Amino acid sequence: MILPRRVLHVIDSLDLGGAQTFLLDLVGNHDRSRYLPEVAVMHGKGVYHEAFEKEGVKIHSLSPGKFPPLYVPNFWRLMRREKFDILHFHLFGANLCAKPLALAAGHTAIIVHDQCNDASRERNPMLLTADAVANRGVARVIAVSQSVRRYVLDREDLPDDSVEMIPNGIDTELFIPPSEEQRVTARIALGLPPDVPVIGGVGRLVFQKNFPVFLEVAARILARDPTAIFVIAGTGPLETELKMKAVALGIGGSVRFLGHVSHRPGLYQALDALLLTSDFEGTPLTLLESMATAIPVVASAVDGIAEVCTDGHDAILVTPRDVAGFATALGRLQADRVLNKQLGDNARITVVNRYEIRIIARRVELIYDKVLGEERNT
């Protein structure tokens, strides 16, 4: 009997975020007869800790917090104590701190998952250099979009065949178009009225997502339709600043900050439209989840978003930071029910055909197969 190979996924934290959400779905869909996943979290437990445990995934929490950095010696001890066939790194902290230790230990089956054209690397050449040097020793880099793949190849000067593009994926059996009864139930659960327009923004409250533009768009829509409600689901360091901006714009009573919403399918079912105002993205899960729910999307025409969506077919794409353009696009949706349905129906088809998590998990496992095959041949 052939035992499954052990895969250790290493990630900064299990707090709210797209990388954490994707990892949860990935480990939940690994073929456990072939690959047995475990997770090493650099610090803390996080909101997703219990969800991973429910998937039957063993969690190694390496440190109570970021400081002192106990995760450094504890990760080294974990590698030396356990025999992992694959080490799979997610997010920049894990790549910067733990990946060099894996290389120093002589581990050869190392996979790096690159989620975004992260502007922090551009602002800090030392970080970019450190990441590039370490990546030259890994077996594969998985880029979640072609734009991320081009970024890694251009900035880090890696061999072309060492970087493969595999997009993020979602469970399209979990995110489904709602019936009218489900829509009303979802709104009641979130404390929202059943009969007014509800436009949502979903994501971490960080500069990348540009929620200030979201609020400026909301102010324009509310000026002509004061019955509308805008909701923001997510947490992050800019939460207080964004709440103050909503008040300053005079829309504080019409913008609901929902915080972390654990039942993601219900969140999308409560929306009439998703407004995604990011400045840069990889393959945002909130985009895929909304599209799978057949909710019409208005989004920035950037990076991975533009790779997923076709303007006018399964979403409306707008130049980044164009407040008037976003407001005009939402106005079109409010005025045209036929357009709403066409965009929603086409969006679900796009996600089912190209971004189903079970297909994505098999593609990731094919990378594992290649890497372990190369290891045997050396």
Where in the chain is CATH 3.40.50.2000?
5-169+356-377, 180-354
Give how far the C-alpha of residue 103 lies from the chain's centroid of Cα atoms, to the nearest Å. Answer: 27
Residue with the two structure tokens 């970019």: 128
The owner of tokens 């000067």 is 157
Q: What's the confidence (pLDDT) of residue 376?
A: 76
pLDDT of res. 377 = 77
- The string of DSSP letters for 63-100 reads -SSSSS-THHHHHHHHHHHS--SEEEEESHHHHHHTHH
Token pair in block for residue 228: 């509308």
Residue 324 to residue 302: CA distance in whole angstroms: 17
For the segment 14-36, what is each residue's pLDDT rounded down to a tens digit? 998 899 999 999 999 999 999 99
Residue 70: what pLDDT? Answer: 96
Instruction: Convert the pLDDT of each residue in 245-292 to its tens digit.
Output: 999 999 999 999 999 998 999 999 999 999 999 999 999 999 999 999
| pTM recorded for the entire structure | 0.93
- Among 187, 135, 141, 145, which residue's Cα sits nearest to residue 162? 141
**Residue 278: what pLDDT?**
96
| Helices and strands per DSSP (H, E), number in the chain | 17, 13
Q: In the chain, which stretches have pLDDT less than 50?
A: none
Whole-number Å distance between alpha carbons of 95 and 236? 22
The structural architecture, per CATH, of the domain 5-169+356-377 is 3-Layer(aba) Sandwich (3.40)
Q: Which residues have C-beta within 8 Å of that of residue 52, sequence separation ≥ 6?
A: 14, 24, 27, 39, 59
Between strands 229-233 and 198-202, the pairing is parallel
CATH topology of domain 180-354: Rossmann fold (3.40.50)
Q: What is the Cα–Cα distance from 19 to 56, expressed in whole angstroms?
A: 19
